[in-house]
Amino acid sequence: MTTKILFSLLSLLLAMPSYAQRPRARDLGIQIGTLPTGTYNAVTDVEGVLVGHVTLIEGSGELVVGKGPVRTGVTAIVPHGEDIFRNNIFAAAEALNGNGEMTGMAWINERGQLEVPVVLTNTLSVGEGYSGVVAYMLKQGTGRVPLPVVAECYDGGLNDIAGRHVTVDHVVEAIETATGGAVPEGSVGAGTGMRSYGFKAGIGTASRVVPDGHTVGVLVNANCGRRRELLIAGVPAGRELPVQASSTRDGSIIVVIATDAPLVPHQLRRLCKRAALGIGRTGTVSRTSSGDFALAFSTAYRLPRTRTDRDTITTLRDGRLNAIFQATIEATEEAIVNAMCVAEPMTGRDNRTMPALPHDKLIEVMKKYGRLK
């Protein structure tokens, strides 16, 4: 009896991320790309962008559908601090591989604008995410609600996903508590039950500042890739790191790109395509069963929901986008690596444990390939 209690306590401790976040890639000396980062090296370096998490961790042991163990959550990205329904922004979305869901994507690309906060959660909680955005928008007194934008990844390897533990209130809380500054990463919010390349992963973020002063910030929910595919700053780390028993199931990734550069929808869609290059730099091939989506928005202009005959804007010429493309690629790559560097090992349903990326071994590998001294 005592042994079972101790085992249950150990499983719960492994499930709980510690308060102090593990080091990020740059804290370990790993340099990705050449462009400088923003102040926080996060999507919130784009002025006005806010991020909120609600993390659900409860129970341990064998799966009991509807009871747990619970390893899931919600992440909300609020594009600016104003009423987004009344002050839309330019946006675009793209699917790298479509075995997944991002609601509202067709309307984003049809109209070229974003009207709501963006919500990330698990595959079977998209409905709750949708209803949560509706509830939040109705609380704002808008009188009407545009199509919610909810993107998902599958966390059923660690989480009682069929129990659908995410609620409407959790979604509203994630939106209402969104803040700027440093962004918690790893096993938080929608990333709580996610894994990448056979390691625990989840939420990651990074940013870049281009020579003309504009900022590009990226947030990912990383849940993709197989161990031997893993590349970190070009180093085949997955082949060098010790293999432990872990799932090789194909996964998914959601990439949210924010920029203060004055870009219009067709240019933002080009940024979404560059996110695919950032994903590819970490090694995954985006298999048939992957759900890999990117959404990009620009905070440069507010588009008031008022009746006017025309909007007058100034945008960057397409020939000026190369540095922003580079920034998107670098920030996407680093955000994925940050998700793995920060996430701690987690034990979930049926006592399955997903190991953390081992920092000491990773540093040895990076030194072996001349990327660290």
Going by C-alpha positions, the residue among 74, 126, 84 that lies closest to residue 108 is 84
Q: So what's the pLDDT on residue 311?
A: 82
Token pair belonging to 352: 């399955």
Q: At what angle do helices 265-281 and 322-342 cross, to 10 degrees?
A: 50
H-state helical runs in the chain: 2-15, 105-111, 126-139, 168-176, 237-240, 265-281, 322-342, 359-368
Note if 290 is an active site residue: yes
Element (DSSP H or E) covering residue 346 = strand 346-347
Catalytic residue among 45, 246, 292, 298: 292
Residue 92 near residue 47 (C-beta atoms within 8 A)? no
pLDDT value at residue 8: 44
Amino acid letter, residue 211: P
Tokens of 277: 């290059």
The chain-wide mean pLDDT, for the chain, equals 93
Report yes or no: 183 and 220 within 8 Å, Cβ to Cβ: no
State both tokens at 102: 């991002």
Query: What span, in angstroms and rounded, lies between the C-alpha atoms of 344 and 13?
Result: 11
What does the pLDDT look like over 267-281, one tens digit per residue?
Answer: 999 999 999 999 999
Predicted pLDDT at 1: 43
Catalytic member of 252, 260, 286, 298: 252
The model's pTM:
0.94
Domains recognised in the chain with CATH numbers: 21-307+321-368 (3.60.70.12)
Annotated catalytic residue: which of 11, 60, 125, 290? Answer: 290
**Separation of alpha carbons 147 and 149, rounded Å:** 7
Cα(76)–Cα(51) distance, integer angstroms:
6
292 is catalytic: yes
Low-confidence ranges of the chain (pLDDT < 50): 1-13, 17-19
Longest dimension (CA), the chain: 74
Q: Can you give the pLDDT at residue 251? A: 83
| CA atoms in the 13 A half-sphere facing the CB of 170 | 25
